[in-house]
A and B are shown apart, each in its own frame.
Chain A
Amino acid sequence: MNVLNRRKMIEVNGILFLLLVVTVAACALIGPVRIDLYRALQNIFSADPNAEILFRARLPRVLLGIAIGGGMAACGVVLQAMLGNPLACPQMLGVSGGASLGGILGLIFFPHWLVPIGGSLIGEISWVPLAAFVGALVSMFLVYRFSLFHGRLHPYHLLLSGVIFNSFVAALIMFLNSIVDFYQAQGLLFWLMGSLSTRAYPTVGFIFAYILLGFFWLWAKGLPLNLITLGEEAAMQLGVEVASVQRQIFIASSLMIGAMVSVSGMIGFVGLMIPHVMRLIVGSDHRLLLPASFLAGGIFLAWADTLARVLLAPAELPVGIVTAFFGGPFFLFLLYREGGKKLAL
């Protein structure tokens, strides 16, 4: 009887964690400028160009990529399970559209404002990501309200209202895009394609902690999620307070997605593909699938972003192009090899 046990949990997550550590080191070292690691380590706290690039330009960006990739993948896992839809992804909740719209409005109307508390506390934060996060919260509230029937969240309505809300917002964004000037239109592109950039450590630390917190909230719902994939009634009969779990998953993942989009725009594909890849590799049990997807999502996005930096150096590709370009064929290959047995549902 081959079921999830402590050994499998430790083995799978341990291997992925080691890969993650290797990824952090490798991705920080790879870049258009060659880095002398010995010198960089010697001069961590002084103004050596090697240390500057490695520790203050690349490393925070790699860490940010890991947090966002992991968060996207974890949200993808729980949304696919809760909505019972293998096509579900973080973009589907409508929150991402709301965040983009908020960010774009911020960009157009007050691009140069800075938050007064910024500086020392959470790093250089401009109004733009905050406006995006406000947009995310507003859309989260609206989508929630439209998916509520008889006092509880209906997954089917949630899926529909999220998708429709996003199309509506996309129309608004395109409208804004056609009335702003060229320079601002370039800025809009960030929200549509998504990309990572270097941020100060306090900002990265704050985002990392925020996403980890959200991840643990979702992970705590791993077992109920297993049961919910059997159907709502079956889950209730097996002891799950289904309505409460659904509400918590919606809130936790919306808060995570809102923050992630505020920081990096809408990076696609990670949240759709990684859950499927990991399901094929480690199985469907969410107690393992969630941490494994988080780690794998982080690894994948860190490498994708490294490629985005290197491929056309010194120019940068939007990371969303890389995730889809390399992730797509890999996923199709895996589907071809494993899908026949495991996905013939």
Chain B
Amino acid sequence: MNPALQIKNLVFAYNDRPVLDGVSLSVEKGEMVGVLGPNGSGKTTLLKIFSAVLTGGGEAKLNGRNIQDYSRRELSRLFAAVPQESRVHFPFTVAEIVLMGRASRHGPFGLEGKRDLIAARDSMEATETLSLADRYLHELSGGEKQRVMIARALAQEAEILLLDEPAAFLDLKHQVRVFELMRRLNRERGLTIVAALHDLNLAALFFPRLALLGGGKIVRDGTATDVLTEETIREVYGVGVRIHHDPVDGRLQVFIRPEIAFAKSLG
């Protein structure tokens, strides 16, 4: 067992407000892990510590070496991050944006070579964005933009894909497309995927392993059935739910029942 990503007793605070308070998690190569938790529970912070945008206390290792000991250049070949939402200040085309994923592979005056163009084309094909190549990013819909961002991350040819609520602003159809894409990349390319997720049902449906953050710690870690129980969700999110299983395939579904929590607090 050789974990690709390993953190131990990770702590992090924004000024005096602690967010992560002793988080331990290890992710194997080729795993697909969904990180759940309410707003402000530190999902995004955790991802940012992985990609060395933030530095926390405790131990954070990648392939057995401290993350802080890598240069940004090295890290950009190991981690590829997909942001929650992306904005550009200037008109760049989709192809230009995707090629930016290759930036750490050539010098400051260097132009993209054949190898870079192939990688970009390949990742645009995988994300069905090749037909958008010459459009401007700001002309695209939210779903298209998010796929372009995933294409850029793929062009980095990194080992680990970090996604921060990649479907947060998308409608149902595009949410499902993004989740299917993540699963396909994990299965077909063996990419290790760590994603911060909001939607419990989609997480349960697509992610074989879930880790639930609450109170600055990992509260539960395991399969959807282990993690998503009525009691845990009520505790961490403060919302009453009922868990049902599909009578046909037995897969789990979370039904929101706010009055349950209310009844509990009265009782």
Give the B-binding residues of A (Cβ under 8 A): 1-6, 9, 80-81, 84-86, 219-224, 226-227, 229-231, 233-234, 236-241, 279, 283-285, 287, 341-345
| With known contacts A5-B111, A236-B51, A227–B92 Cβ distance under 8 A | no
Q: Say whether B109 contacts A230, CB under 8 Å.
A: no
Q: Say whether A284 contacts B101, CB under 8 Å.
A: no
Interchain Cβ contacts under 8 Å between A and B, 17 examples: A1-B133, A3-B96, A3-B99, A4-B111, A5-B112, A85-B89, A230-B88, A230-B97, A231-B83, A234-B83, A237-B51, A238-B76, A238-B101, A238-B103, A239-B75, A284-B96, A345-B90
Main SS class of interface, B: mixed
**Closest CB in chain A relative to B103 CB, distance in Å:** 5
Q: Say whether B138 contacts A345, CB under 8 Å.
A: yes
**Residue of chain B at shortest CB distance from A230:** B88
Contacts of B75 in A (CB 8 A): 237, 239
**Closest CB in chain A relative to B137 CB, distance in Å:** 9
Q: Say whether A344 contacts B72, CB under 8 Å.
A: no
Q: Which chain B residues (42-75) contact chain A, with CB distance < 8 Å?
A: 48, 51-53, 72-73, 75
Is B223 an interface residue, CB under 8 A from the partner?
no
Q: Say whether A2 contacts B134, CB under 8 Å.
A: yes
Given A223-B103, A342-B136, list of 18 further CB < 8 A pairs?
A: A3-B95, A4-B112, A5-B111, A84-B89, A86-B89, A220-B108, A220-B109, A222-B108, A223-B108, A226-B100, A229-B90, A230-B86, A230-B88, A230-B97, A236-B53, A239-B75, A279-B91, A285-B96
Is B220 an interface residue, CB under 8 A from the partner?
no
Inter-chain CB contacts under 8 Å: number: 120
Q: Say whether B52 contacts A236, CB under 8 Å.
A: yes
Q: Say whether A237 contacts B80, CB under 8 Å.
A: yes
| With known contacts A284-B92, A341-B136, A345-B88, A226–B80 Cβ distance under 8 A | no
Q: Say whether A233 contacts B90, CB under 8 Å.
A: no
Q: Say whether A221 contacts B90, CB under 8 Å.
A: no
**Residue of chain A at shortest CB distance from B81:** A237
**Closest CB in chain B relative to A108 CB, distance in Å:** 41
**Closest CB in chain B relative to A272 CB, distance in Å:** 15
**Closest CB in chain B relative to A345 CB, distance in Å:** 5
Is B120 an interface residue, CB under 8 A from the partner?
yes
Task: Classify chain B's interface size.
Answer: 35 or more
State A139–B93 Cα separation when bound (angstroms): 38
State A85–B136 Cα separation when bound (angstroms): 19
Q: Say whether A2 contacts B93, CB under 8 Å.
A: yes
**Residue of chain B at shortest CB distance from A224:** B108
State A222–B91 Cα separation when bound (angstroms): 16
Complex partner residue of A239 from B76, B91, B139, CB under 8 angstroms: B76
State A345–B77 Cα separation when bound (angstroms): 30
State A222–B106 Cα separation when bound (angstroms): 12
**Closest CB in chain B relative to A240 CB, distance in Å:** 6
Q: Say whether A227 contacts B80, CB under 8 Å.
A: no
Q: Say whether B103 contacts A237, CB under 8 Å.
A: no
Complex partner residue of A9 from B92, B106, B111, B133, CB under 8 angstroms: B111
Q: Which chain B residues (111-161) contact chain A, with CB distance < 8 Å?
A: 111-112, 117, 120-121, 133-134, 136, 138-139, 156
Q: Say whether A233 contacts B111, CB under 8 Å.
A: no
| With known contacts A236-B51, A238-B101, A2–B88 Cβ distance under 8 A | no
Contacts of A343 in B (CB 8 A): 91
Q: Say whether A6 contacts B111, CB under 8 Å.
A: yes
Is B207 an interface residue, CB under 8 A from the partner?
no
Q: Say whether A279 contacts B134, CB under 8 Å.
A: no
Q: Report B204-224 CB contacts with A as 1/0, cut-off 8 Å.
A: 000000000000000000000
Q: Say whether B100 contacts A230, CB under 8 Å.
A: yes
Is B189 an interface residue, CB under 8 A from the partner?
no
State A237–B164 Cα separation when bound (angstroms): 13
Contacts of B264 in A (CB 8 A): none
**Closest CB in chain A relative to B5 CB, distance in Å:** 15
State A2–B136 Cα separation when bound (angstroms): 12
Q: Say whether B96 contacts A231, CB under 8 Å.
A: no
Is B12 an interface residue, CB under 8 A from the partner?
no
Complex partner residue of B73 from A226, A239, A287, CB under 8 angstroms: A239
**Closest CB in chain A relative to B248 CB, distance in Å:** 41
Q: Say whether A227 contacts B103, CB under 8 Å.
A: yes
State A284–B96 Cα separation when bound (angstroms): 9
Q: Say whether B95 contacts A1, CB under 8 Å.
A: yes
State A220–B110 Cα separation when bound (angstroms): 10
Q: Say whether B103 contacts A239, CB under 8 Å.
A: yes
Q: Say whether B91 contacts A1, CB under 8 Å.
A: no
| With known contacts A1-B121, A285-B96, A345-B88, A239–B104 Cβ distance under 8 A | yes
**In this complex, which of B79, B103, B138 has the most chain A Cβ atoms within 10 angstroms of its Cβ?**
B103
Q: Say whether A279 contacts B117, CB under 8 Å.
A: no
